[in-house]
Chain A
Amino acid sequence: MDARLGFSAAPIAFDRPHAGTVAEPVVRLRNFVRRFGPNTIIDGLDLDIAPGEFIALLGRSGSGKTTLLRTLAGLDEVRGQDVDVPDSRAVVFQDARLLPWKPVWKNVSLGLKGDAIRDRAEAALKEVGLGHRLDAWPLTLSGGEAQRVALARALVREPRLLLLDEPFAALDALTRYRMHDLVLSLWRAHLPAVLIVTHDVEEAIALADRVLVLDKGRIVAEERIAAPRGERSALSGRLREKLLSHLGGGDHGADVLRFGPLAEAAE
């Protein structure tokens, strides 16, 4: 198989500027466990994220992906666990979570310390194409605009780790594609490590260097995608099928396997 177009479970170079350099991982989780009462949400999970790496985390609802993201975001207590997360991190949530009583630029600069805060907020907003909405009230923004403000709010902090929690799930298809392009260009410009949580296989394939599938608190599949981001439509069919079968897990997975040969026969 042509490695440039293909995908493989073996580690190969990513298509990013400093590919091949071996650096300390930004995020390092070892045998991470999270329980709520009798329910084990995350069950012995290992995870390394390299600096500047773009990771997509796929999982059904209840697979533990939100819990994992909350841990990486520092929102949950991780006392006594082997968890390394950089202090310099930022989150974009599915709902933009802007403070409605602060104008856009104050939302972006929330919690920033130092001089020229408004200028920094303005620069970040210009980067996401919202330089003209500096003083707008968040409740007057469209869903896509609000999400772009949330991106600016995350980026103005120059994070080493950018966490995206299904950030585009509530947007229409066209806006979603635009946001994909925006996220990729911002990632190329700032090179944070990115972890995007999503349930959309296409989105994962379109964006990530590496796709992880989480099921019942464990990583059940890992795929590295070497193909450049513009040329992935060719491979997305088979990869999509493979990821979906992992996503399906249990009963649904069996269905996929059973119907697989039938589909081929039909072709």
Chain B
Amino acid sequence: MAVTTWNRQGTGRSASRILLERIGGRWLSPLLLLLLWELGSRTGLIPERTLAAPSAVIGTLAQMLLSGELPSNLLVSFARVAVGLLIGVALGLALGLIAGLSRSGELVVDPLMQIKRTIPALALTPLFIVWFGIGETPKVALIAFATIFPVYLNLYSGIRSVDLRLMDAAKSFGLSRWEQVWHVVLPSALPSLLVGLRYALSVSILVLVVAEQINASAGLGYLINNARDFMRTDIIVVCLMVYAILGLGADWLVRTIEARALIWRPSIVEQ
């Protein structure tokens, strides 16, 4: 199916390009890279202590899955992200609503948020360790702290960029202030809020990676640290893959929410 569409569009395409697309399209170069990597490992060009072979990585992955080592540690990491995000997104929502919907709220909240923005969340790691020790709390707190801002900023600006002509229309039909917020302001801020949520999810995984380096006794970071000590590059690569899958999963989650919540947008309607 894909091939025929390409051919129809591609009157000016060179024969080699059509051939490439026929063989595997966009999958070709990554597969080739994997093949070269495997070859390099087999021939001893890439030592195992530098980078394990793809086949070894897959073997390790299967082994870690079967032994339950990977699922149990993944669950720990996932719980950290989930709790951190829950707190961070909830705070971001609350602060964004306060600053977006009231002038005095904006005066109180926004300067603090702008100050907070200038401090990179990860730079607070030492302080959080001093405050919260080296247990779960500093990890969750770091994720929560880092995810407040993208949610806050996008919700706040989404609320403030509401179409005033729509507000006039709502007013002219006698909607109360609360009804205006509910029917006009919040729905119009939703696309912007979802962008913020997407940022928050990717930030949360980034912070998770660093936070888990803090003396963890479980979780993906713990697995990586252990593997580093034993120079098990195969385990490190498996964990990197899992981080990537977490990121993809987060993106998928927001896109699913968007497709349902923003069904009125023409780009989605026309599909």
Q: Which residues of A contact B (CB under 8 A)?
A: 70, 73-75, 87, 89-91, 93, 95, 97, 99-103, 110-111, 137-140, 153, 157
B165 near A93 with CB under 8 A, answer yes
Partner of A93, one of B169, B174, B187: B169
Known: A110-B183, A111-B179, A139-B269. A73 touches B172 (CB 8 A): yes
Partner of B166, one of A74, A75, A89, A99: A99
- Give min CB distance, A66 to chain B, whole Å: 11
Which chain B residues lie closer than 8 Å to A70 at the CB level?
Answer: 168
A110 near B265 with CB under 8 A, answer no
Known: A137-B264, A139-B264, A140-B266. A75 touches B171 (CB 8 A): yes
A97 near B165 with CB under 8 A, answer yes
Q: Does B175 contact A (CB under 8 A)?
A: yes
Q: Does B184 contact A (CB under 8 A)?
A: yes
A90 near B264 with CB under 8 A, answer no
Partner of A101, one of B170, B174, B187: B187
- Give min CB distance, B7 to chain A, whole Å: 33
A140 near B172 with CB under 8 A, answer no
Q: Does B173 contact A (CB under 8 A)?
A: yes
Interface of B is mostly: helix
Known: A99-B187, A110-B183. A139 touches B265 (CB 8 A): yes
Query: When chains A and B are docked, how far (Å) is the Cα of A140 from the Cα of B271?
Result: 13
Q: Which of A70, A103, A111, A138 has the most CB of B within 10 A?
A: A111
A111 near B174 with CB under 8 A, answer yes
Query: When chains A and B are docked, how far (Å) is the Cα of A41 from the Cα of B179?
Result: 31
Which chain A residues lie closer than 8 Å to B183 at the CB level?
Answer: 99, 102, 110-111
A137 near B171 with CB under 8 A, answer no
Known: A100-B264, A139-B264, A140-B266. A157 touches B173 (CB 8 A): yes
Interface of A is mostly: loop
Which chain A residues lie closer than 8 Å to B190 at the CB level?
Answer: 101
Task: Knowing that A103-B264, A111-B183 touch, tell me 9 more A-B residue pairs with CB under 8 angstroms.
Answer: A75-B168, A75-B171, A89-B172, A93-B168, A97-B169, A99-B183, A100-B264, A101-B264, A137-B269
Which chain A residues lie closer than 8 Å to B184 at the CB level?
Answer: 99
A74 near B269 with CB under 8 A, answer no
13 contacts between A and B (CB under 8 A): A70-B168, A74-B171, A75-B171, A90-B173, A91-B169, A91-B173, A97-B165, A99-B166, A102-B183, A110-B170, A110-B175, A111-B174, A138-B264
B172 near A91 with CB under 8 A, answer yes
- Give min CB distance, B127 to chain A, whole Å: 42
Query: When chains A and B are docked, how far (Å) is the Cα of A89 from the Cα of B190?
Result: 30
Which chain B residues lie closer than 8 Å to A138 at the CB level?
Answer: 264
B269 near A110 with CB under 8 A, answer no
Query: When chains A and B are docked, how far (Å) is the Cα of A87 from the Cα of B179?
Result: 18
Query: When chains A and B are docked, how far (Å) is the Cα of A153 from the Cα of B169?
Result: 11
Interface string of B175-209 (1 = CB under 8 A from A): 10001000110011010000000000000000000
In the complex, residue of chain B having the shortest beta-carbon distance to the beta carbon of A138: B264
Interface string of B21-38 (1 = CB under 8 A from A): 000000000000000000
In the complex, residue of chain B having the shortest beta-carbon distance to the beta carbon of A70: B168
- Give min CB distance, A214 to chain B, whole Å: 20
Query: When chains A and B are docked, how far (Å) is the Cα of A91 from the Cα of B167?
Result: 13
Which chain B residues lie closer than 8 Å to A137 at the CB level?
Answer: 263-264, 266, 269
A111 near B170 with CB under 8 A, answer yes
Query: When chains A and B are docked, how far (Å) is the Cα of A101 from the Cα of B158?
Result: 15
Which chain A residues lie closer than 8 Å to B166 at the CB level?
Answer: 97, 99
- Give min CB distance, A78 to chain B, whole Å: 14
Query: When chains A and B are docked, how far (Å) is the Cα of A73 from the Cα of B165?
Result: 13
Partner of A110, one of B168, B173, B188, B263: B173
In the complex, residue of chain A having the shortest beta-carbon distance to the beta carbon of B176: A111
